[in-house]
Structure 1
Amino acid sequence: MKGVLRLKHMKKWAFAGLSLTILATAAACGKTEDKPAPAAAAAKPFEGKKITVFALNHQWAESIKAALPEFEKSTGMKVDLQTFAEDQLGGKLAVQLTSKSNSPDLFMYRPYMDKILYDKNGWTQPLDEYVKKNPNYAFDDFSKATIEASTNNGKLLSIPLFTDQFVLYYRKDILQKNNVPVPKTLAELDAAAKKLHDPGKDLYGFVGRGQRNALVTAVASFVFSEGGDFNNGDKATVNTPEAIRGFQIYANLLKNYGPQGTLNMSWPQAAGLFAQGKAVFYAETASVYKNTTDPEKSLVKDNVGFATFPAGSAGAKPYSIASWSMAMNPNSANKDAAWAFTEWATSKENVLKIQRSGVPGARNSVWASKEGVETFPPDLAAAIQETMKIGVGHNVPQLISVGEARDAVGSIAVKAMLGEDIKAAAEQANKELQAIIDKDKSK
C-alpha cells in the first residue's frame, strides 16, 4: 500500500514538474514573450499541438497509452500513439523517413540493429542539447551501457525505453542436490555443465540459442568476456584469438552438453526446454525470464535461479543494451512538444511505473529503489543491477547490414558445433564480415 501511495504522490508531482519544465524550455528557446504568460497558457503550454508517435505493440506502449489522458490534460497537446508489430513498424518507418515526412514526430526503434543505418540516412534528430535543458530530468541516471547503445559518432540519437541484460539461468534444486556452487567463471560453468549433464535422464547440462543468426546475441557475451569483439570500427575482428576463444566456449557448451536439435533453437525453444526441466543452465537475456517462471508455462517455476554472467579470461563482460528506444524525426514540425512527451514518458516516475509491470527500464535509480525491484525475483534484480554496471552496450556487429553480418558471424559457432575447424571458420567469417563492412561504407 505504501508503494502505491508513493507512486500516486510521484505522479502528481511529475505532471507539475513537467509543466514547469516545458515552460522553462520554451522560454529558453525564445518562444515566450517577456511579459508573464496568462494562467491558462501556463497550465497548458502545448494547447492545440498534436504529435504522432509510432510505437511497438508492447507492454511499454500499453502502459504509456493508459497514462496519456492525464498527460494531455496537463500539457494541452494531443498524442496520436499508433502501435504496430515489429516488422510492420520497420516498414512504415522506412517509407515515412525516406520520404522526409514530418510524421511521425517520434518513433520507437532498435538502436542495436538500426542506429548506424538511421544515423547515416539522417533519420534521427540528435538529442544531446535536449537532455541538458532540464536538470530534473536527470539524464545521468540512465545506465552508461544503454546510453552507449543509443549513441553513434558521438551523437545521442535516442532515449532508452527498455533494456536487455544477458544473465545466467540455473536450476537451484539440482545445484543444491549435487553440492555444486553457482559458476563464477566460464571454466566453472563448463565443469558444472559437464558434471550435471545426464541425457539418459533427459537432463542436459546447458541450453541456449543454436540457430546461426539468432545465436549471435548470445555468443556476444562469451566473446566479450574473453576480450574479443565482432569488429573494431571498420575492421572485422572475429578471427582474433580472443574472439575465437569466446566462440569455442559457447560452441562446446552446446555441442557437449546441449540437447538434440540445438542448431534449430532460438530463444523460445531454448527457454521452453529449460522451463520443462530438461536443462541445468541457460544463458539468455533477462527480459524473457517469465517464460521460465510462469506457473502456466514452467514445470520448474520455484527452482529457477539467476546470476550475473560468469567471467572469462577478460572478466565478466555481458551485454547490457537498450533493446528499444525513442527517437525524434528530424523533420518533425513539433520538436519541442515531441521532446516534452519523451521527457515525460522516460521520467523516473514513468520508468518506475512501467518497470513494475515487468518491463526492465534503463534508469539506475529505479533499479536501486525497493519499488523498482520488488516485482522481480530478488536474485534476478541483483543480476540485472550488476550487469547494468559492468555491461557492454552492444551485442551484434556494429555496422549497417546487421542481419547479413549476423549470418556470417553465427556460422563460426555453428561450424564448431558440427566439429569443423573453428580457426578456419573464423577466418572465413572474418573475410565475409569485412566484405560487408566495406560494402556498407560505399552505401
Structure 2
Amino acid sequence: MFKHSRTTAAALLLTLLVGVASACSPSQEAAPDKPGGAAAADKPFAGKKVTVFALNHPWSDTIKGSIQQLEASTGMKVDFQVIGEDQLQQKLAVQFTTNAASPDVFMYRPYMDKILYHKNGWTSPLNDYVNKDAAYDFADFAKSSIEAATIENKIESIPVFTDQFVLYYRKDILEKNGIAVPATLDELTAAAKKLHDPAHDFYGFVGRGQRNALVTAVSSFVFSQGGDFMKGDKAAINTPEAIKGFQTYATLIKDYGPQGVLNMSWPQASAIFAQGKAAFYAETASVYKNTTDPEKSLVKDKIGFAKFPAGDAGAKPYNITAWSLAINSKSANKDAAWEFIQWATNKENVLKTQRAGAPGARSSLWTTKEGIETYPADLAEAIQETMKIGVGHNVPEVISVGEARDAVGSVVVKAALGEDIKAAADQANAEFQAIIDKDKTK
C-alpha cells in the first residue's frame, strides 16, 4: 500500500552510514530461484546460496551450530553472518538503500523498525508461505507475537525470540512482612510503600527511569489502566486512562525508588535489584539472568517472578517480538530464504534456542518440560500467562520511534520531578501528534 520513500531511505542512510562501506557488488548476489529437475527432488535447493545477517546473540550461536543439518537436507549453502546490533543496523541500511539483493534473510526489531521497513518496501510479506507446510504449525505462534510482526495484514517477519513484561520480587522480604504477591497495581504500590526503607539503603521499587528507556516499562502500566499511546492516527497519551498509568509508574519510581533512578535504564535497575536493594522490579523476563546469576546477584535464591499486576482494565502487560527474521524484498532466492526461516523457527529449533535462554514465541513449548526446565518455574508460568494476554507493542507504533519515545517518556520524568502530570501529558501529546503528522509525509 505504501510507496517506496526515497526521502526516508536517504535520510536513514545519511544518519546511520557516514563512513560505512558501500553495498556488495551484483556479483555477490545469488542467482534467482529456478525450478529444480528430477535430481533436485531430494535436495530442492541444491546449488543455492542464502545469505543471512543475524544479531550477535545466543539465539544466533545456537542456530549457527545446526546449519550444517539444513545444508545437508536441502542442498543450499548458508552464509550466516553474525553482526553486532549497531553494525547490523548500518549494514542493513546500506544494502536496502542501494537495492541490493543481499542479504536474503535478516534479523530486525519489528517493534522499532517494521513500519519504516514496510513503508520503504524492504521486507517481503510472508502470508503466502506460512501455511504451506502443515507440519510448521504456524498457529502455534502466540497471537500477540505475530501481531507485533504484522502490518496492514501483511506478515512481515517471523518471531525468533520475545519479551514479556513481568514482576520480579523478593520472596524472603514479602514472606517476612506477611505481604502477598501483588495481584493489582494498587497492591503493588501499597507493598512498595510499606517496604520502602531508604535509611537502610532498601527501596520499595526499582525500574527504568531514563526518559527514552522507560517507555517500554511504563507501557504495561498504561495498557493496564485502559490507555494506549495512540488511537488510530491520533496521539492519546493525555487521556485519563493513560495519565493514570503514567502516574502509577511515576509514583513508584519517585516515592519508592532509589536515588538517581531517572538516570537508570534496565542494566542499572537490574543491578540494584540483584544487589538486594529493592523489593520489586518490573522488567522484561528476558533479562532475568542478570538478577539470578551467581556471579552478579547477592539474592539469586530469593527472587520470585509473577504475572504483571492488574490495573483498572485488568492485567495487560506487553508480549512483543523482540527480534524476528524477514526476507529482503529484493532477494533473488525468496523460496530458499523462506526454507531457512521455516527451519530456524520450527519447533525443534525454537526449543533449542529457548533452552539456551531466548524465550520463544511458540505457545506449545511453554507447556512442555523440555521447554521450561531451564527457567525458574514461576518465571516460566508468568511468561506463559503473559503470552496469552499480552499486548503486541510496547512503544508508539510510528516511523520516528525514538522521537516518540522521548515525548512519551517526558510525562513520567516531569511527574517524578514534581511537575503537574496533566500539563506534562498535554504538552507531550501535542509533540507526539506533530511526530505522527510529520511521519505521514515521509
TM-score by length of 1: 0.92
Residue aligning to 1:49: 48
TM-superposed CA distance for 1:201, in Å, is 1.1
Residue aligning to 1:100: 99
Residue aligning to 1:280: 279
The answer to whether the 8 Å contact 2:250/2:416 transfers is: yes
Q: Does 1:31 align with 2:30?
A: no
Q: Does 1:88 align with 2:92?
A: no
TM-superposed CA distance for 1:32, in Å, is 5.4
Instruction: Give runs of aligned pairs for residues 419-430 of structure 1, distance below 5 A.
Output: 419-430=418-429
Residue aligning to 1:6: none
**For residues 139-158 of structure 1, what are the alpha-carbon distances to aligned partners after superposition, in whole Å with 9 as ceiling and x for unaligned?**
00000010010001111000
Identity %: 72
* Whole-Å separation in 2 of the counterparts to 1:283 and 1:174: 16
Q: Secondary structure at the match of 1:173?
A: helix
Residue aligning to 2:295: 296
Letter in 2 for 1:319: Y
TM-superposed CA distance for 1:42, in Å, is 2.7
Q: Does 1:312 align with 2:311?
A: yes
* Whole-Å separation in 1 of the counterparts to 2:414 and 2:152: 34
Q: Secondary structure at the match of 2:313?
A: coil
**For residues 240-271 of structure 1, what are the alpha-carbon distances to aligned partners after superposition, in whole Å with 9 as ceiling and x for unaligned?**
00000000000000011000000100000000
Residue aligning to 2:328: 329
Residue aligning to 2:182: 183
Residue aligning to 1:77: 76
* Whole-Å separation in 1 of the counterparts to 2:127 and 2:310: 34
TM-superposed CA distance for 1:234, in Å, is 1.1
* Whole-Å separation in 1 of the counterparts to 2:263 and 2:424: 19
Q: Secondary structure at the match of 1:130?
A: coil
**For residues 268-287 of structure 1, what are the alpha-carbon distances to aligned partners after superposition, in whole Å with 9 as ceiling and x for unaligned?**
00000000000000000000
Q: Does 1:220 align with 2:237?
A: no
Q: Secondary structure at the match of 1:321?
A: strand
Residue aligning to 2:406: 407
Q: Secondary structure at the match of 1:301?
A: coil
Q: Secondary structure at the match of 2:71?
A: helix
The answer to whether the 8 Å contact 2:36/2:44 transfers is: no
* Whole-Å separation in 1 of the counterparts to 2:336 and 2:366: 28
Q: Secondary structure at the match of 2:41?
A: helix
* Whole-Å separation in 2 of the counterparts to 1:283 and 1:108: 27
* Whole-Å separation in 2 of the counterparts to 1:430 and 1:122: 29
Letter in 2 for 1:166: F
Residue aligning to 2:357: 358
The answer to whether the 8 Å contact 2:309/2:315 transfers is: yes
* Whole-Å separation in 2 of the counterparts to 1:218 and 1:75: 43
Q: Does 1:396 align with 2:398?
A: no
Residue aligning to 2:434: 435
Residue aligning to 1:262: 261
Letter in 2 for 1:215: L
* Whole-Å separation in 1 of the counterparts to 2:403 and 2:94: 21
* Whole-Å separation in 2 of the counterparts to 1:83 and 1:354: 16
**For residues 174-231 of structure 1, what are the alpha-carbon distances to aligned partners after superposition, in whole Å with 9 as ceiling and x for unaligned?**
0000110000000000000001111111110000000000000000000000000011
Q: Does 1:250 align with 2:254?
A: no
Pick the structure with more helix per residue: 1
- Aligned-pair RMSD on alpha carbons? 1.0
Instruction: Give runs of aligned pairs for residues 95-174 of structure 1, distance below 5 A.
Output: 95-174=94-173
* Whole-Å separation in 1 of the counterparts to 2:326 and 2:161: 13
Residue aligning to 1:17: none
TM-superposed CA distance for 1:70, in Å, is 1.5
* Whole-Å separation in 2 of the counterparts to 1:144 and 1:429: 31
Q: Secondary structure at the match of 1:82?
A: strand
Q: Secondary structure at the match of 1:337?
A: helix
**For residues 369-406 of structure 1, what are the alpha-carbon distances to aligned partners after superposition, in whole Å with 9 as ceiling and x for unaligned?**
11000000000000000000000000000100000000
* Whole-Å separation in 2 of the counterparts to 1:380 and 1:64: 24
* Whole-Å separation in 1 of the counterparts to 2:340 and 2:127: 16
Q: Secondary structure at the match of 2:290?
A: helix
Residue aligning to 1:347: 346
Residue aligning to 2:18: none
TM-superposed CA distance for 1:95, in Å, is 1.1
TM-score by length of 2: 0.92
**For residues 352-380 of structure 1, what are the alpha-carbon distances to aligned partners after superposition, in whole Å with 9 as ceiling and x for unaligned?**
01111111000001111110000000000
Letter in 1 for 2:256: Y
Structure 1 stretch displaced more, 275-284 or 351-360:
351-360
Letter in 1 for 2:363: N
* Whole-Å separation in 2 of the counterparts to 1:288 and 1:370: 21
Q: Secondary structure at the match of 1:431?
A: helix
* Whole-Å separation in 1 of the counterparts to 2:84 and 2:422: 39
**Unpaired runs of at least 5, structure 1:** 1-28
TM-superposed CA distance for 1:239, in Å, is 0.5
* Whole-Å separation in 1 of the counterparts to 2:416 and 2:151: 34
TM-superposed CA distance for 1:31, in Å, is 3.2
Q: Secondary structure at the match of 1:128?
A: coil
